[in-house]
Chain A
Amino acid sequence: MADLLFEIGLEEVPARMIAAAEAELLRRTVALLGRERLLPEGFDELSGAKSYSTPRRLAVLVRGVRDRQDDVSEEVVGPALKIAYKDGVATPAAEAFARKSGVAVADLKTVTTPKGEYLAATSVKAGRTAAEVIAAELPKEVGAIYWAKNMYWRAGKPERFVRPVLWMVCLLGEKVVPVSFGGKTAGRATLGHRVLSSGEPFEIESPESYEAQLAGEYVLVDVEARRQRIRKAMDKVTREVGGARWREDEALVDQVTHLTEWPDVLLGSFEPEYLALPEEVLVTVMRDHQKYFAVEDAEGKLAPHFLTVLNISTDENSAAIIRQGNERVLRARFNDARFFWEFDQRVPLAERVKLLETVTFQKDLGSYAAKSERVRGLAAAFAERIGGTVDAAALDEAARLAKTDLTTELVKEFTELQGIIGGLYAKAQGISQIACDAIYDQYTPASMDDGVPRSVEGALLGIADRADTIAGMFGLGMEPTGSKDPFALRRAANGIVKILAETELSLTLGPVTSLVAKDEATTDKMRGFFRERVEFYLREVRGQAYDVVKAVVAVGSDDVRDVAARAEAVTHVRGGDDFRAVSAAFKRMKNILVQAGFELPGLGAVATGSGQGDAEGALMRKFGVVDAKVRELSSQRAYRAALEAIATLRPEIDAFFDQVMVMDPDLTVRNGRLTLLAMIVASFSGIADFSEIVTAGSFALGS
């Protein structure tokens, strides 16, 4: 047994790709060793394997790799006995079989099969050594790693990889395994930090010493350790400013972790006069363009400082130089932003409406001016449905101006701030606060982790804008297929679903699709599309189980808040004994009704019963009470209480099935009882289709 270390040294790998590639290299290496029967017995991936990465390397360490595969013996069946021997003498057929199997004729056996007696041999396939397997197979695994964008660099293009391979280390214990990939063959030499180390290759002694040896050459190869070092250093330098905190930004921490091998942090400052610019602009410049962290004061307001994460350690002299350089760059960027901010205001948003005629939204759907007009109409229609609470005039103004910021220099420079910039300009130009906020929030939520618009007007504008895009694209037959969604229509629909689910807006998907689609066929396609998005939302955002989602969506998904409430209620009660018993009983009722060919009565039907039998009477009386309660609770979306009320029917239902024969020969009695069952089933079915629910032991209720 020996530990395996594999490191591949590369020219700087894009930060966004490193984490996934590191995980994939680990997964592939462990899978390879498992497949090749080289993992130790009882191998546990958490303690037995580890992966590393920096911008310049990916590495994996697997402990206790077996020295060689076990030999495998298998029985091979040869020619029939009567062909193999003539008069007790082996024929050429027997000899050939023995040769092929690697055994002497004398060692051949006889086996009895249904077709008669046959010759057989035990052939032993010798196991390969771990070094052989790794040298032969690991290159294929490395070559198969997925990269979002790769390149070729060698003449004749023998492989594509993320960046040129510079070196590889592959050690099994202390021995080198000569793995070859990308024109390099693994040895034991690696490189340290580009600047801080000597720059000369140095040898890794053993897998165990890898981490420490690299740390000695200024490479912190463990990603988590690097992340923690960065966080600590940021805390420390921020303390130089009394009461200040750096603004948490996990994605950015992640990014800088993957941009450094030996990180350090510097605090820089900028002139307080720039704080007059909108905070959104300042933070975007710092985060997106410079990868700086913003610093805020004790009240949470932006402070005139920033943090930059370096890939080098500093002394007082170099810290001063690097700080000064970064401060100059930021000053230039802020200057640019201020120039644009002031320049753009010379042409107010209202005058920019006309300019939108020259900005194409989509070639068959016209300009942004045309889109804005459509969105205005749609937003007005939504507002009318909702009534009183909406400021229709402010919503209309917001819809008219929403896209005008696309013509500003600031948005051309910071495209990620579209909408937000429009909202800020609108505010600076004295437009009503409600309209400003709606413009500002129009692209919220940008992702499923994001919030929702702050106002009903912002929510309606966001829905109208996205619905117009989806309907337009669907109308052109450009709906998403499989992994292809070039116009991000799924994200747009997810945004609508999230807004409907997480605001108090009294709007359902029905009008969102029917008011915007150009024809019936498009409406239908959009409905199906939205149903999928609702399911996605319930699963991914609300964490509901797959079967619960299916069950509640089957009853209807137009009202997103309602379907979410039903899903939560079902999840809550599904484990209870009474609920399970009642569910099973309902499934039985449903089957009886189906077998009787009984049509479920329409709304307004009355559970008549047959008027015979104590158990039936008891069930009828209890159902009357429970049904009224369920209706009342359902109308308040108190679905959990409604389901719990239904579960209280258990004793009466049990008694009913014990004592009552539903399929009474008397037709009137029978129909009375069937009607009762049908009403019970109907009362239950308004919340979810329980035939979709998977119960313990994967016993599915319903048909």
Chain B
Amino acid sequence: MQATKEKKALTFQELLFALQKFWAERGCVLQQPYDLEVGAGTMSPDTFLRVLGPKPIKIAYAQPSRRPADGRYGENPNRLFRHTQLQVILKPPPQRVQELYLDSLVAIGIDLREHDIKFEEDNWEWPVGGAWGVGWQVMLDGQEITQFTYFQQCGGMDLDPISGEITYGLERIAQFLQDVDSIYDIVWARDPETGAEMTYGDVRLHEEQQFSAYSFDYADVEKLWEHLNLYEAECKALLEQAKTVVSEKNADALAVKRFPTMGAYELALKCSHTFNLLDARGAISVTERVGVMARIRNLIVGVAKVYAEQGRVVAAGVGA
């Protein structure tokens, strides 16, 4: 116990600061969390759409990630309805990117010589997004703290260049740094004047309680289905319009540029989250499940294709 307690571990927010600062200093654009419900940082358009096409990007952002079925009413010390990922996208991945990542661990106070670090195979796949990659889970003293992925496909399309994705599980790392058994005991902030501490539980427990109750007990199944159908219909309509607007035959370059592919993507994300709520509510039978997932896959993969085409047409300057 004494060993790690001697040095004062970073608070939850200091951890986030330190990682953001680290990546900003290595040329990453710091983006704000995406303001829509997503299940993982990967689903933010800053990852899912930016990895498409040839344009290089280095970007980092924290992403609160909602997984309704993982909620435990705040009663399980290790599971959350909403956890926080720090997502880093490096496109293309630089040489010795693993060493760069390890440097970031040093930046948050981890002395690599005092820990056991392993890169164990863990390949990532998001079938609904037609996306997959190969990579590792990074194990630190037996704890998985990061998912490291080389994206290979997205929206069913081969990526060239590929992107390196680093996803830090912030709660897990904070638990590790602060040596606490429960997520809710993580010190989120410490008042510099008084030393008074706000814990993760102080900040978020009520959210976990209420959103677990909403997802499992209150969410109106019939309304959710209606929402899903409405979002899907609008997204499909946009994708339909894209067929004529987003085309090199379209002489109106501004119309191509302004076509709201990202709007269509948000609608698809809404479908995805609504699906997750229905799933948590136990409202999706096994037979329906495959069908609904295929519907959402059509939307998301459709958006990715339009986005890639839009980028290509705009870059080619066709019609301008």
Contact = CB atoms under 8 A, between A and B. Distances in A.
B1 A324 contact: yes
Contacts of A336: 76, 78-79
A259 B1 CA distance: 27
A164 B134 CA distance: 11
A260 B117 CA distance: 10
A163 B149 CA distance: 11
Contacts of A312: 113, 115-117
Contact of B141 (A151, A153, A196, A326): A326
B140 A325 contact: yes
Nearest to B152: A151
B286 interface: yes
A506 B147 CA distance: 53
Given A11-B98, A12-B119, A324 B136 contact: no
Nearest to A330: B142
Nearest to B1: A324
A311 interface: yes
Contact of A332 (B78, B114, B152): B78
B176 interface: yes
Given A332-B78, A360-B286, A156 B160 contact: yes
B158 interface: yes
A311 B116 contact: yes
A55 to B, nearest CB: 7
Contacts of B116: 308, 310-312, 322, 326
Given A310-B116, A321-B4, A321-B114, A151 B143 contact: no
Interface string B101-124: 010000000001111111111010
B179 interface: yes
Contact of B120 (A259, A324, A335): A259
Given A329-B143, A332-B77, A321 B115 contact: yes
B286 A329 contact: no
B81 interface: no
A367 to B, nearest CB: 8
B118 A311 contact: yes
Contact of B160 (A155, A322, A328, A359): A155
Contacts of B181: 328, 331-332
**Candidate in B79, B92, B119, B152 with the most chain A CB atoms within 10 angstroms:** B119
A331 B112 CA distance: 23
Given A151-B150, A155-B161, A332-B181, A55 B176 contact: no
Contacts of B140: 325
Given A329-B141, A339-B76, A317 B118 contact: no
A657 interface: no
Contact of B150 (A153, A156, A322): A153
Interface string A1-25: 0000000000110111000000000
A11 B76 contact: no
Interface in A6-51: 11-12, 14-16
A55 B139 CA distance: 14
Contacts of B4: 321, 324
A329 B96 CA distance: 29
Interface in A294-347: 308, 310-312, 317-318, 320-322, 324-326, 328-332, 335-336, 339
Interface string A386-401: 0000000000000000
A329 B142 contact: yes
Contact of A321 (B3, B119, B120, B161): B3
Given A311-B118, A312-B113, A325 B176 contact: yes
A325 B142 contact: yes
A152 B118 contact: no
B170 interface: no
Nearest to A160: B152
B121 A14 contact: yes
B141 A157 contact: no
**Interface SS majority for chain B:** mixed
Given A149-B123, A153-B150, A195 B142 contact: no
A112 interface: no
Contacts of B114: 317-318, 321-322
B134 A320 contact: no
Contacts of A149: 123, 134
A311 B179 contact: no
A324 B179 contact: yes
Contacts of B121: 12, 14-16
Contacts of B118: 12, 259-260, 311
Nearest to A156: B160
B237 to A, nearest CB: 31
B308 to A, nearest CB: 16
Interface string A231-274: 00000000000000000000000000001100000000000000
B285 interface: yes
Interface string B204-232: 00000000000000000000000000000
B158 to A, nearest CB: 7
Contact of B136 (A12, A16, A155, A166): A12
A320 B142 contact: no
A659 interface: no
B287 interface: yes
A12 B118 CA distance: 9
Interface string A194-208: 111001000000000
A435 to B, nearest CB: 27
Nearest to B122: A14
Nearest to A196: B113
Interface string A617-654: 00000000000000000000000000000000000000
Nearest to A368: B286
A195 B121 CA distance: 19
Contacts of A260: 118
Interface string B20-49: 000000000000000000000000000000
Nearest to A268: B142
Contacts of B152: 151-152
A325 B134 CA distance: 27
A331 B180 CA distance: 11
Given A152-B162, A259-B120, A195 B113 contact: yes
A11 B119 contact: yes
A367 B136 CA distance: 35
B93 interface: yes
A153 B93 contact: yes
Contacts of B78: 332, 335-336
B234 to A, nearest CB: 31
A536 B19 CA distance: 56
A322 B93 contact: no
Contact of B162 (A153, A318, A326): A153
**Candidate in A194, A292, A363 with the most chain B CB atoms within 10 angstroms:** A194
Given A149-B134, A153-B93, A318 B286 contact: no
Nearest to A332: B78
Contact of B286 (A150, A153, A311, A358): A358
Interface string B128-153: 00000110100011110000001010
B158 A325 contact: no
Contacts of A153: 93, 150, 162
Given A312-B113, A321-B114, A157 B158 contact: yes
Interface string B43-81: 000000000000000000000000000000000111100
A16 B123 CA distance: 13
Given A11-B119, A328-B175, 17 more contacts: A149-B123, A150-B134, A155-B160, A164-B150, A195-B113, A196-B113, A290-B142, A308-B142, A318-B115, A322-B115, A322-B141, A324-B1, A324-B141, A328-B143, A329-B142, A329-B143, A336-B76
17 contacts: A12-B118, A12-B136, A16-B121, A151-B134, A151-B150, A152-B152, A153-B150, A321-B3, A324-B1, A324-B179, A325-B142, A325-B176, A326-B141, A328-B143, A329-B141, A329-B143, A332-B181
Q: Which 8 A-B pairs have the closest CB atoms?
A: A325-B141, A14-B121, A12-B119, A326-B142, A318-B114, A310-B116, A329-B142, A360-B286
